[in-house]
Amino acid sequence: MRLAPSPTGTLHIGTARTAVFNWLFARHCGGSFLLRIEDTDRERSKPEYTANILEGLQWLGLDWDGEPVIQSQRLEQHRAAIQRLLDSGHAYRCYASEEELAAMREQQAASKQAPRYDNRHRDLSPEQEAAYVAEGRQPVVRFRIDDARTITWTDLVRGEMRWSGADLGGDMVIARRAPADRIGDPLYNLVVVVDDAAMAISHVIRGEDHIANTAKQLLLYEALGAEPPVFAHTPLILNQEGKKLSKRDGVTSISDFRAMGYTAAALANYMTLLGWSPPEGMGERFSLKEAAAVFGFERVNRAGARFDWDKLNWLNGQVLREQGPESLREQLAPLWAARGWGLADGANPVHADPAWQRQLTELLGPSLTLLADGVEQAEPFFTTPELNDAARAQLEAAGAGAAVTALLERLPEGELDADQAQALLGEAATAAGVKKGVVMKSVRAALLGSLQGPDLLATWLLLHRSGDDRARLARCR
Ligand code: GLU
């Protein structure tokens, strides 16, 4: 198994999902998961993209075996393979100029034909070749594709596949233009085959956008006398409209998801579900290791997989809660501190107390989707919030002020437990002549400045421990 990313951009979710399937299958069968950096596009490949890709894979927990193979360092092997194909007559030099090829395509378009190379230089005589060379033309190298051939393979996802040679666009370019006594830069289909064969890749697992390449590559394996791997073409990731997910859909790179606060565990879990259905009874939340134990292509769907933010968010919340409140607190504390909460000179010392922070984490935990939600939702516990309109309206309702006053009069200086707090709410209701619900709503409004928020009693107890409840209630008497 291998992943062969091109470092022409950051690690894309599609590539990462391909990595997940390769990793799962390799770990499932005890095979190796190799990496090959396909950096032969010298203009668009950048070392920082390679770094981003390796870092992203590592972060997701997709460890690979051995050192990554760097494709650009294998140029001699690629050229040697092209030379062999030239020597065996499977490939030839084509001198057609860009202008001639453009004119050919124009004609094809005018007569409503699919664009293809018409194999015009397939059988040049030595004299014709010499004449083109004398003109100073630089040839590409093309690989012969027999229109009459039918290419077949058994795809692990899609079953029996058939492709007609006539649908491959004519003889394919395998090396760019160069003087006729040299071989120009080798191109994708050729180098992939040479490298996959050299790396003894048993299974090529990649997106279904490569299916036509597979047909071409199988012909190259045959011509080079190499054993082809088994192929598995995975469904594409689709956006909400059912189109292939692209940059235009916003966040698509793993580093962006990471920056948004998604956990590696949730993202890896989610990518596994993008195209694979876990066996009955497994549920949708699992680790990569758990998935690897049962992974197989019989449960990979053929249909495209629609990206579902709700599911990713749900998984991320699950992962956050699984870590337990103490681990969650350890992650949140630096984010709170970065806001200056609990640290600044003169700040409430209770806010920096791990026990108080842990209670706060336990209170907020169930409603977190992203770690950052634990910052936003914690804000009213560290700083006194303004009253919003709904809170103000609540506190202006009949009896609300009286209830808050009654509560304040009974509020102990020292400790307060849940039973006492419940009793106080009841007493305040009686004293103010309102229902207990009115007292509760008013207390929430006074404490949090909003009618929304976590469990009221736990909220109050926390704010009582930090000594923040009294002043907040007092402003609403
Ligand atoms: N470099 C190619 C890509 O990123 C690799 C495709 C393959 O797996 O063969 O699309």
Q: pLDDT (tens digit, 9 = 90+) per residue, 148-164?
A: 999 999 999 999 999 99
Q: What is the mean pLDDT of the chain?
A: 95
Q: Identify which of 39, 300, 289, 21 has the alpha carbon closest to the alpha carbon of residue 157.
A: 300
- pLDDT at 188 (0 to 100): 95
Q: Whose alpha carbon is nearest atom 4 of ligand 1?
A: 5
Element (H, E) at 141: strand 140-143
Q: Separation of 189 CA from ligand 1 center, angstroms?
A: 9
Q: Which of 50, 193, 210 to mutate to test the pocket of ligand 1 (most atoms within 8 A of CB)?
A: 210
Report the helix count and the strand count for the chain, using DSSP H and E. Answer: 21, 12
Q: Identify which of 13, 53, 10, 7 has the alpha carbon closest to the alpha carbon of residue 246.
A: 13
Residue 285 has pLDDT above 90, yes or no: yes
Q: Separation of 6 CA from ligand 1 center, angstroms?
A: 7
39 touches ligand 1 (CB under 6 Å): no
Q: Which atom of ligand 1 is nearest to the CA of 5?
A: 4
- Spatial contact of 151 and 215, defined as CB atoms under 8 Å apart: yes
Angstrom distance (rounded) from CA 56 to CA 16: 8
Residue 243 falls in the annotated catalytic set: no
Q: What is the pLDDT of residues 35-72, one digit of tens each?
A: 999 998 889 999 999 999 999 999 999 999 999 999 99
- pLDDT at 249 (0 to 100): 81
pLDDT band at 220 (very low <50, low <70, confident <90, very high): very high
pLDDT over 70 for what percent of the chain? 99
Burial of 350 per CB tally in 10 Å (0-12, 13-18, 19+): middle
5 touches ligand 1 (CB under 6 Å): yes
Q: Identify which of 21, 25, 17 has the alpha carbon closest to the alpha carbon of residue 245.
A: 17
Class of domain 1-65+235-322: alpha beta
Q: At what angle do helices 354-364 and 325-338 cross, to 10 degrees?
A: 110
Q: Which atom of ligand 1 is nearest to the CA of 204?
A: 8
- Spatial contact of 266 and 319, defined as CB atoms under 8 Å apart: yes
Angstrom distance (rounded) from CA 299 to CA 245: 22
461 touches ligand 1 (CB under 6 Å): no
Q: So where are the chain's domains?
A: 1-65+235-322, 75-186, 323-382, 389-474
214 touches ligand 1 (CB under 6 Å): no
Class of domain 323-382: mainly alpha
Q: Identify which of 13, 12, 26 has the alpha carbon closest to the alpha carbon of residue 289.
A: 26
Predicted structure pTM score: 0.88
Burial of 452 per CB tally in 10 Å (0-12, 13-18, 19+): exposed
> In this structure, are strands 91-94 and 140-143 parallel, antiparallel, or unpaired?
antiparallel
> In this structure, are strands 305-306 and 159-164 parallel, antiparallel, or unpaired?
unpaired
DSSP codes, 218-245 = HHHHHHHT----EEEEEPPEE-TTSSBP
Residue 344 has pLDDT above 70, yes or no: no
Q: Separation of 99 CA from ligand 1 center, angstroms?
A: 30
- Spatial contact of 32 and 65, defined as CB atoms under 8 Å apart: yes
Q: Which atom of ligand 1 is nearest to the CA of 206?
A: 8
Angstrom distance (rounded) from CA 81 to CA 175: 11
Angstrom distance (rounded) from CA 71 to CA 6: 10
In CATH terms, 389-474 corresponds, of 1.10.150.120, 2.40.70.10, 1.10.10.350, 3.40.50.300, to 1.10.10.350
pLDDT over 90 for what percent of the chain? 91
Q: Whose alpha carbon is nearest atom 7 of ligand 1?
A: 4
- pLDDT at 345 (0 to 100): 65
Q: Separation of 28 CA from ligand 1 center, angstroms?
A: 22
Class of domain 75-186: alpha beta
- pLDDT at 252 (0 to 100): 87
Do the domains 323-382 and 75-186 match in fold?
no
Choice among 247, 311, 435, 436 that is catalytic: 247
